[in-house]
Structure 1
Amino acid sequence: MLQRMRAVAVVLAMGAGAFVLASPASAAAIAPSISPVAISPAPPIVIFDKPVTATFSFTTKDAGKAELQLKPPGVSVGSPVELTPKPHGQWTRWTGTKTFEAANAGQWSFLAIAHGDGDKSVNGTFEVRKALDTKIVDFDANPDLVDSGDQIRVSAQLLADGKGYGGKQVTITFRAKGTDAYRHVTKVTTAGNGWFAARVRAETTGWWRAEFGGDKFARASVSDTDRVDVKFRDRDSRIVGFDARPEPVDKGDRLNFTGTLESEGWRALAGQRVNITFKAHGSDRWQLVTSDVTGRDGRFWAATTAETSGWWRAEYAGTKGVNGTASGPDWVRVVQPTPPPVQVDKADTRLVKFNAYPEPVKRGKYVKFSGKLQVDDEGSWEGYSGKVRLYFKPAGSHKWQYVKSTWSNDSGKVYTKVKGWKSGWWKLVFRGDDDTWGDTSRRDYVRVKR
């Protein structure tokens, strides 16, 4: 005490401009350092069904000890948290935990202090929240009765603690009648007031609902269900590619009909009977002439003998779940064939090397025909150019049917092709002309497989 008083006296005696050197112990003192406080999980701390334990951590340097105080909402004095120190390089890391329950919701304060040659502290606040209770209200799927494939509108409002919860993703789900599980159909985002709506396609009767999966702040919720009944309307059908050929056609020659039957989609409709009807020129009445059953590809093939000019069309009566239809009409002119002039002195002809191939052939693929037309030129057979007709006799039938006509070239070679629909016999016929007699080739059988 005496020495301190002497030092003060010396200073006073020195007057203005004088200074005092610090003692060695005072020059070595270092104030502590402290970092911001980290909180995990990051605030706000949301309490759902179970308490949440939060971890508080900070680091200090040159501190003899540290402390952390937490102050609940509405309380003026904080409570200490037990800290565990751990060396962290030149620093010391301090860690403490606190468990929060829903009853602790509110704005909390914290104060962290590093004690040393002087104290350093940091403080702040964090929020503890009770998880929001959500509810999906006014769910509606409208209309309640639709045709299969029609669209319906689903809508509702997502609330969190009674207020619209915006910007959240809601899933629209559906459970078909007779099943137990809901399946996801689409997702939609709520507007700022929590309302949402979406358009979905109803394929079958069942129940619709909306599901919110929850988020960091709010619980999940599921709406009430709304049933929509779906009735199945009959599908439409159509006949495409209908064709009656040839046109014109000689009276008594064969007239062929082809086309494809499809149901809405548009896909081939197999195993259905298609009728071929005829309306003569000047008549208002359609008459049934022949029919055929469609194959797996929906195609049909039929034929008849041409008698008079008029309109032809294909008609389908429909079946359960499928509406009937009719093709557009196809006009065919029937002409009287011109009889060849009577010739007394004509040359003989012959059709040789006739071949129908391949065998067998797949239904709807081409059957090819080759042969050679020759004329007797003073004892020598030469190639001859003439009109050659192709005929067909289905297996099990006794009647030959005209198919088409072609011409042999100057060397007498004949080549043509048609699509094969039924198994049977084929032949070529040359009726002759002004200078030659006609002839018929040998018959050749071709099996058509499906």
Structure 2
Amino acid sequence: MVKRVATTLVAVAMGATALATAPAYAAPVAPSPSPGTDSIHADNARKAYTPDPRILSVDVDPNVVVVSRGRSAQVTARVTTKDVQSVDIDLWSPRGHGGHGGDHWFGKRKNGRHDGPKFDHASRSWSFDYNDRAGTYRVHVEAIGLDGKKYTADRSFTVKRNEWHSPRPTGPKATRIAGFDATPNPVRKGRVLTLKGKLQVAQCWGDWYYDDWNDFSGRRGGDRYCSDSRNYWNDWRWLGSQDVKVYFQSSGSHRWQYVDTVETEGDGDFAAKVRAWKSGTWAVRFDGGRGFKGSEATDYVKVWRH
């Protein structure tokens, strides 16, 4: 009984000693102070912005300038830059000679500090009239960066004159054969076919004509005019007293056979009577001449043998 109690006391004593000598892991630790805004600003101040000078864009409006007699047109160049202290906008003519342009001074940063990118805009305009030289002009831009270096960029535009053409046509007038038709179709072998159509010539206002009805190449005349700036024309006009030749090419053949020649009436209409013996393509052709271009038209006809 006495021995057991003594053992217990020894154990208690040893436990007390262990608690006294053990490190205080459970003791609260004070947190370190978090970085404040002052320290962030200090870091940013230490990391100064490095300028990146550039000419970001040079826009010229309009790209094509058309000037008429007694009128003028204006062209404007707009420049956007980054991190530059000045920009100069010059105009170079088609001859290659440039004049002193418009200077724009943006200035340097205060106290020499660069806190971030610096964007600037500049523009310059020019006026053109009929007396100015036609051709390609060049806008030349020179900028001085915040680093002291020079940067350049170029953009071009075109100046055109709105000129009248010669008062007389200089080329053959375009023609066409409108509404060509071979009837009946299909047709029985040996029966008569009627080939008909209308020969026409392209006509412009004022009774002048286009050289090519697909090209809208204007010619001037009379009291109404056609010019490149007016992409319209009157209509097709009849073309009478002209020879129209008739040809035939049978199916499977590559050879055209001459059949007949007919003359157009006063309103440009023509008609020819032929007999159909084989299936194939009928063609009518106006060879042109006397200031007219040639033209042709075709129609396929199926021939029944029974």
Do the two structures share a fold, i.e. TM-score over 0.5? no
TM, length-normalised to structure 1:
0.27
Task: Specify the structure having the higher radius of gyration (Cα).
Answer: 1
Structure number with the higher helix fraction is 2
Structure number with the higher strand fraction is 1
Q: Which has the higher contact order (CA 8 A, sep 6+)?
A: 2
